Structure 1
Amino acid sequence: MDLPITDLVVFVVYMTAIIAFGVSFSFRKRTPKDYTTGGGRLPSWAIGMSIFATFVSSISFLALPGNAYLSNWNGFVFSLSIPIAAWVAVKYFVPLYRKIKSESAYYYLETRFGPWARTYASICYLLTQLARMGAILYLLALPMNALFGWDISTIIISTGVSVIIYAMLGGIEAVVWTDAIQGIVLIAGALVCVSVVLFSMPEGPQQVIKVANEANKFSLGSFDFDFTSSTFWMILVYGLFINLQNFGIDQSYVQRYLSAKNEREAVRSTWFGSLLYIPVSLLFFFIGTALFSYYQVYPELLPEDLKVGASADKVFPYFIVTGLPKGITGLLIASIFAAGMSTVSTSVNSSATVLLSDFYKKYINKSASDKQAMGVLFLTSFVMGGASIVVGLAFNGVSSALDAWWALSSIFSGGILGLFLLGLIAKHVSGKMAGIGVLVGVLAISWMSLSPWLLTGTGMEDYQNTLHTNLTIVLGTVTIFVVGFVASNLVFLKLKTEEK
């Protein structure tokens, strides 16, 4: 499929401008602090838009419509937990990070439980970011595959290389400001898509609602208290824990809290970015549902290979290419591309910060100069970007990138939210007792993740995990907290008894 000259011009101009804007920040004289936190001088509205854009990226813009097209609005329940998570973050976590003034989110764990806790959390974070970047690179490849028929693997590799250059040169200031621009463009693009679909229906916009309602597309899922499948309650509980992790202990967000001018600005940006995501995610789910109705009415417009469930993530990109007015297609594809690149660059930047602070300065060179630190930031950005390309290639062929990302993020989280909560709530828990909690938590996570494969065909199927994969983060978090808390209290009671 050839791209009309109008769309091609829009695409090239927009992408060139965004990349040039991001790279322009590299010409400023910067210290490692400028590179990782923007020197603590960024405005709250820009940080808030950046938090929102980090949530959206290409995962939301492409995977949420694909998820709604394939099933229903069950995934939207995830967004309903965001206000609770945001409240906890602004109440406890934002003041904590502003107070300790470390560029690493995981420095706090060292102050509470020792160096092992910081290293464990950092490794879990890096694994989660690799999964996230891989999912985004894969989803970025879908529109171009639908547009030109280019090989998805080739697109992932070429895009990944471009992102590495962008992330290495831009720093956090470039990430925040480009995110702010992308957030505005993405919302506008989504509204245009919805409008085109609604007013393309032969019986008018109401036909979208009618067709979708008949297919039960607006369902939020079963309200049974069943945690073995994607029920309303399972997604709500999962969303609460994963969003607490996002807003409370994710390095990408912590760096934004530190980029604000003061604590009040950091709190304001957190509320703005988190609450904005709720109606926008609803808009994305509606796009997927509207596309379902659209292609039910016009089935001849959808190729046969996109009518199977495994291709749900490709339906929206196909509509962008074939169903939008000239010029809008190029702008929307460019904005999706640039937003995804900005989000990946965020993960690359935050991962490089963790590697510098929690590994290089901690174990290799404690008195590194600014020049050495900048060199490490550039090198680790390159390494993490390259690794993300490999993960992106592994995503190729999954039936739902959203479900795959949710499952991986749940597993790789390692229950570190439980370790943070243990440190904040249970002040008397020692590092040794927290370590016991982590050990048991890792065993629980391993059982949740591996038992369905390892025990199948062994006669021990009764011992397999039957809970939904997404609950891995829930079980890991709760196990670490409860075991660490109980172990500490048992030791405390034993000591009291011996004193008597």
Structure 2
Amino acid sequence: MQLNWIDWVVLSVTLMAIVVYGTWKTRGSKNVQDYLKGGNTSKWWTIGLSVMATQASAITFLSTPGQAFNDGMGFVQFYFGLPIAMVVICMVFIPLYHRLQVYTAYEFLENRFDLKTRTLTAILFLIQRGLAAGITIFAPAIILSVVLGWDLLTLNIIIGLLVIIYTVSGGTRAVNVTQKHQMVVIFIGMLVAFFLIVDKLPQDITFTKALSIAGASGKMKILDFSFNLNNRYTFWSGIIGGTFLMLSYFGTDQSQVQRYLSGKSVKEMQLGLIFNGLLKVPMQFFILLIGVMVFVFYQFNEAPVNFNPTATELVLNSEYADAYQSLQKEQQAIFNGKQALITSFLNSENTNSPTYISQSNKTSDSIRNEARNLIDKAAKDQNIKVESNDKDYVFIHFILNNLPRGLIGLLLAVILSAAMSSTSSELNALGSTTTIDLYKRNTSEKTEEHMVKASKWFTFGWGIIAIGVAGVANLAENLIQLVNIIGSIFYGNVLGIFLLAFFFKSVKGHAVFIAALITQVIVIGLFFLNEYEFINLPFLWLNFVGCMIVITLACIFQQTMKPRCTEIPSDFKTD
């Protein structure tokens, strides 16, 4: 589908205004304080929106509706630990970071442990965040490849360079300034999308009836209190695994730490994080609800067997075309039969209607899985790379085929604004960490001007690396899960190192360093054992497991060298 000129105008003006404004507003940073910490001028609302924008990448607005379309509202449990984490960070992390006047979270670790522990933790951050930055560029490139028909590599380069321009130019303040405007665009766009989806439902289908249909289809189950590890998202995985993940992400990941280190005072930093903690879960709930409404929309409007048009075109031009068309006919028959079931359900004519609707949807899902298999076979035979997993295409398919002109451009601007905001934070943090924790710490004393230039070059370099990662990225089950999986592999270990620094006074750097190396190998091993189904350990639990392993090993190793480790008193101050 080709964009109308109105959509092009809305999309181009929105994005270019953000880039130009961010570059102009923050030009001329002369010292490291201004460039890396924004001159410590940020108010709490700027911090809150910036923290939220950093986490809410294009992946959030692409994958989350698709996640809800397929699996329902249960994914919101993933965020249940976030408010808890915000309180802990406000009480423990922020006062310490502020008192030590650090540029990065990892500076504290050298003060508490030693240089090698600081360096290892910084490198772990650089690896996982460098990979994640590539994925946040890759996500919007998927959108534009569908819209424009351009190849992904070209789009990765264009999107990456747009972000690099203002991030390199203005540093942290440029990121904070632009993210406020990006979040305004995002909030407006998602509200518009929600009301338009509800408006597109049949005239006699109210919002309440839409929720009833979604509930009958199993999409409105929010809470799962089971301890079944086969369920990836449960109340317990969200509260326990989610809390540890959020503590790691917001407390030790420099892409987030740098957002609130730019605050004017401890109070502004704390208010910014509390603001994020109060608003984030409702925002994610709302985005998931949009996905559920898209699902309801396709109960009354026939959906494709696969939402990726490139994949559909490929298989229809292969030897599997007849089999694929047969699946399309089966899907159409199920859709036609479901209309009577939904009518009966809404009129309360048949108490078994919810069961029948659920069975119809399961049959439809089975057909969609068969379609993916055919697409994979066609791609393999023709040696063509194409994504058969279409979760991340659901929302963009709805936008392009059902929204009026102009609003399509706005929704595309929403998704691309989210991509730019998240990627800019990541590149800014990657450049800062490389400059402060690796370059500056291991070279002779340099001038302020030299360090600013070095930070700009490191930021530029990480931007090029992120574009490279985006160029070779593949879709996992869906993008939002892929990003969280990457984080979970590293975050538990990193969080454990920080908790050892905060609460275990007698554990020293050498024991922590060895424990962290071993823990990282163990966690990576556990992840692959789970992937190949030798064990059953969903990725969210890796955060908790990694944290516990590194703490336990560090204490054991310290016991063999020093007296038993004990918790430190509440008035502990670093050396």
Give the TM-score normalised by structure 2. Answer: 0.80
Which structure has the bigger radius of gyration?
Answer: 2
Matched residue, 1:24: 24
Q: Residue in 2 aligned with 1:294?
A: 297
The answer on 1:390 being equivalent to 2:393 is no
Is 1:256 aligned to 2:335, yes or no? no
In the alignment, does 2:282 pair up with 1:279? yes
**Selected match of 1:412 from 490, 494, 502:** 490
Q: CA deviation at 1:223?
A: 2.8
Residue 414 of structure 2, aligned match among 313, 317, 335: 335
Partner of 2:459: 381
Match of 2:189, SS? Answer: helix
Question: Which of the residues 470, 473, 487 maps onto 2:543?
Answer: 473
Equivalent in the alignment of 2:504: 426
2:271 matches 1:268 = yes
Deviation at 1:263, TM superposition (A): 0.8
Contact 1:448–1:469 at 8 Å: present in 2 too? no
Q: Aligned residue for 2:208?
A: 206
2:62 match: 62
**Equivalent residue runs for 1:186-205 within 5 Å:** 186-202=186-202, 203-205=205-207
Query: Residues 78 and 240 of structure 1 are in contact (CA less than 8 Å); yes or no, is this contact kept in structure 2?
Result: no
- Check the 8 A contact 1:260/1:266 in 2, yes or no: yes
> For residues 465-492 of structure 1, what are the alpha-carbon distances to aligned partners after superposition, in whole Å with 9 as ceiling and x for unaligned?
4312332232111101122234435655
Question: How far did 1:347 drift?
Answer: 0.7
**Which position in structure 1 is the counterpart of 2:97?**
97
The one-letter code sitting in structure 2 at the alignment partner of 1:428 is S
Superposition TM-score, scaled by structure 1 size:
0.92
Quote the sequence identity (%): 29
Partner residue of 1:317?
Answer: 396
Query: What is the one-letter code of the residue matched to 1:448?
Result: L
Partner of 1:185: 185
What's the offset of the Cα at 1:393? 2.5
User: What SS is found at the alignment partner of 2:408?
Assistant: helix
Any conservation in 2 of the 1:75–1:235 contact (CA below 8 Å)?
no
Distance 1:134 1:114, change over 3 A: same
Q: Per-residue CA shift, 1:339-388, capped at 9, x if unaligned? A: 311221111111111001011111123x1112211221121111111111
Q: Deviations over 1:198-221 (max 9, x none)?
A: 121112323321221111112236
One of 414, 430, 453 as aligned partner of 1:351:
430
Moved more, 217-226 or 420-429: 217-226
Query: Secondary structure of 2:200's partner?
Result: coil
Q: Which amino acid aligns with 1:213?
A: G
Q: Which letter maps to 1:282?
A: F
Tell me how far 1:493 sits from its aligned partner. 5.2
Is the CA contact 1:142–1:317 (under 8 Å) kept in the aligned structure 2?
A: no
- Aligned match of 2:116: 116
**1:121-200 to 2 correspondences below 5 Å:** 121-200=121-200
Does residue 111 of structure 2 align to residue 78 of structure 1?
no
Equivalent pairs counted in the alignment come to 486
Higher mean displacement: 297-306 or 192-201: 297-306
Query: Comparing 391-400 with 119-128, which one deviates more in the overlay?
Result: 391-400
The offset of 1:84, in angstroms, is: 0.3
Within the alignment, does 1:448 sit opposite 2:526 as a pair? yes
What amino acid does structure 2 have at the position aligned with 1:314? Y
What does the per-residue CA deviation read over 1:290-334, in whole Å, with 9 as the maximum and x for residues that have no partner?
111111210157866466671111111122222222222212212
CA contact (8 A) 1:66 1:313 kept: yes
Counterpart amino acid of residue 172 in structure 1? T
CA deviation string 1:229-283 (max 9, x = no partner): 4140234322111100122111122222221111111111111123211111111
Conserved 8 A contact 2:495-2:547: yes
Q: 1:360 aligned to 2:429?
A: no
Query: 2:494 is aligned with what amino acid?
Result: I
What letter matches 1:336 in structure 2? I
Larger deviation, residues 33-42 vs 85-94: 33-42
Contact map agreement 1:225 1:231 (CA 8 A) in 2: no
Alpha-carbon displacement from aligned partner over 1:416-461 (angstroms, at most 9, x marks no partner): 10010011011111222223422331232132134457xx7xxxx9
Q: Which residue of 1 aligns with 2:313?
A: none
The answer to whether the aligner puts 1:220 opposite 2:219 as a matched pair is: no
The alpha-carbon distance between structure 1 residues 343 and 270, as it changes in their structure 2 partners (threshold 3 A), is same
Query: CA RMSD, aligned part only?
Result: 2.2
Contact (CA 8 Å) 1:33, 1:39: kept in 2 or not?
yes
Residue identity opposite 1:246 in structure 2 = Y
Compared with structure 1, are the counterparts of its residues 494 and 104 closer, same or farther at alpha carbon in structure 2 (3 Å cutoff)? closer
Tell which deviates more after alignment, 294-303 or 56-65.
294-303
Alpha-carbon distance in 2 for matches of 1:78, 1:449? 18
Contact 2:489 2:523 in 1 (8 A): yes
Give the partner amino acid of 1:485: C
Kept after mapping to 1: 8 A contact 2:22/2:170: yes
Indicate if the aligned counterparts of 2:193 and 2:411 stay in contact, CA closer than 8 A.
no
Determine the C-alpha separation between the residues in 2 that align with 1:324 and 1:494: 64
What secondary structure does 2:390 align onto? helix
Rate the CA distance shift 1:474–1:29 in 2: closer, same or farther, 3 A. Answer: closer
2:402 alignment partner AA: G
- 2:70, 2:145 → 1: CA distance? 20
Query: CA, structure 1 residues 300+482, in 2 after alignment: closer, same or farther (shift >3 Å)?
Result: closer
Q: Secondary structure at the match of 1:219?
A: coil
Give the direction of change, closer, same or farther, for the CA distance of 1:228–1:362 in structure 2 (3 Å limit): farther
Against the structure 1 CA distance between its residues 414 and 269, is the aligned structure 2 distance closer, same or farther, given a 3 Å change threshold?
closer
Cα pair 2:58 2:139 within 8 Å, conserved? yes
Cα offset, 1:119, TM superposition: 0.6
The aligned amino acid for 2:483 is W
Between the aligned partners of 1:405 and 1:394, the Cα distance in structure 2 is 15
The residue that corresponds to 2:239 in the other structure is 236
Structure 1 runs not aligned, ≥5 long: 496-500
Residues 1:238 and 1:149: Cα distance change in structure 2 (over 3 Å): farther
1:498: which partner in 2? none
